Amino acid sequence: MNVTSIVAENARGIREEKKLTLDGAAAATGVSRSMLAQIEKGEVNPTISVLWKIANGYKVSFTSLVEERGEAVRVLRGEVRPPLEEDGGRYLNYPLFPFDETTLFETYRIVIKPRGSLAAQPHLAGSEEYITLFSGTAEIRVGEETFSLANGVAIPCLGFGTWQMKEGPETVAAIQKALELGYRHIDTAAYYQNERSVGQAVRASGLPREAVFVTSKVWNTDRGYESTLRAFDRTMEKLGLDYLDLYLIHWPAAANRFDNWEDINGQTWRAMTELYQQGRVRAIGVSNFLPHHLEPLLKTEVAPMVNQVECNPGCQQKQTLAYCRDHGILVEAWSPLGSGRVLENATLQALGKQYGKSAAQICLRWCLEQGVLPLPKSVTPQRIQENTAIFDFALTPEDMARIAALPPFGGSGHDPDQIAF
């Protein structure tokens, strides 16, 4: 029996033993109902991160999901059974000894290839983890605020946006200040025309390349297979980096301009997939895609891992967020502060006073509470620092509901199906 079938049988059996419905299981694990149903049917091969979420939510061992039930004795013969994979095959997990009820112990062999990583889910309270490094070097980060993408890549949950920041010393200085203050995620794009400054700031920071997560995007004039590959090469030349962490399609081909918009998006995505499979980029995704744009890409070999959209309390994108959540796509928020317009809202200002925070900090925290990654932008050192002070409080469900009830206001008005650029 292959791993996918074993996981399907075990996940369904454990859920039924615990008398949980799929809705109850989703609430317990943080994994969407649709994803759990696909796992139980053996239709998908879940990532290690997803399996850990299920194990922790069900309060069972990890190996109880990946080992055949009733297997009393196992003879270990090297690597006969295929490993569980993350990060595009750069992180390999070989379960060796299943969970022992007597010793409360389970053992794995981990192989991490160059630039491989895993954003591990927290273990249950009281757990202890022992790590023996047999060869090479490894970096272990504890307590870092990150999200985990569908392929297991860790992405810092607060990014530094660079839209409208011009190429030059001011942009370099702003990014360097952000890195000094603890940002580890920089978002740029070919269209921003500041990739050289981003690369210069990252290289001059003194931080290991692996410590800074860098995103860029392919612009609309470079859609298509060959054009996207050439655009990526130009981006890498400007950045001066060996690899990119995340590459996005900046906008979908607009339905009002292209009868074959789906094919154009598909050809662009084919190039993105190729770059990912070659290891030149650690993760791929899209930006400003609505559910009907995403649906065809979900049927391809590699599904989008990120969708970056305009998102703030005045432009909540509820339908797109729900769709992405159900399909394991991380949502990033551009303009999380509504370019300043949203900050004048009376409800957000009142909440700021209630929590001893600014309206901007309320907006950023609102994003995080929904599992959305905000990308605030500023060149002012004080505001750059202020935007990081969002991890020492949480909005109550009642206050989240107050924000959810706000009518639309302060959005850019850009409709991805009607754009003229």
pLDDT tens-digit series, residues 306-351: 999 999 999 999 999 999 999 999 999 999 999 677 999 999 999 9
Report how far Cα 182 is from the mean position of its chain's Cα atoms: 19
Judge whether 305 and 149 are in contact, CB under 8 Å: yes
pLDDT at residue 116 in the model? 77
| Fold topology of 3-140 | 434 Repressor (Amino-terminal Domain) (1.10.260)
* pLDDT above 90 (res 32): no
Residue of 58, 191, 192, 247 marked catalytic: 192
Give SS3 for 169.
helix
Q: Cα angle at 213 between 210 and 214, to 5 degrees?
A: 120
Question: Which has the minimum average pLDDT: 105-109, 280-284, 327-331, 393-397?
Answer: 105-109
**Domain ranges across the chain:** 3-140, 154-404
Confidence of residue 184 (pLDDT cuts 50, 70, 90): very high
Average pLDDT over residues 279-283: 96
CATH of domain 154-404: 3.20.20.100
User: Using CA atoms, how far apart are residues 81 and 93, in angstroms rounded to an integer?
Assistant: 11
* pLDDT above 70 (res 119): no
Q: What is the pTM of this model?
A: 0.75
pLDDT at residue 70 in the model? 61
User: Using CA atoms, how far apart are residues 68 and 25, in angstroms rounded to an integer?
Assistant: 21
For 41-96, the pLDDT digits (tens) are 998 888 887 888 898 889 888 888 888 866 555 555 555 567 888 777 888 888 87
In the residue annotation, 192 being an active-site residue is answered as yes
Dihedral, CA atoms, 357, 362, 368, 374, nearest 10 degrees? -110
Place of tokens 């970096």: 139
Judge whether 395 and 365 are in contact, CB under 8 Å: yes
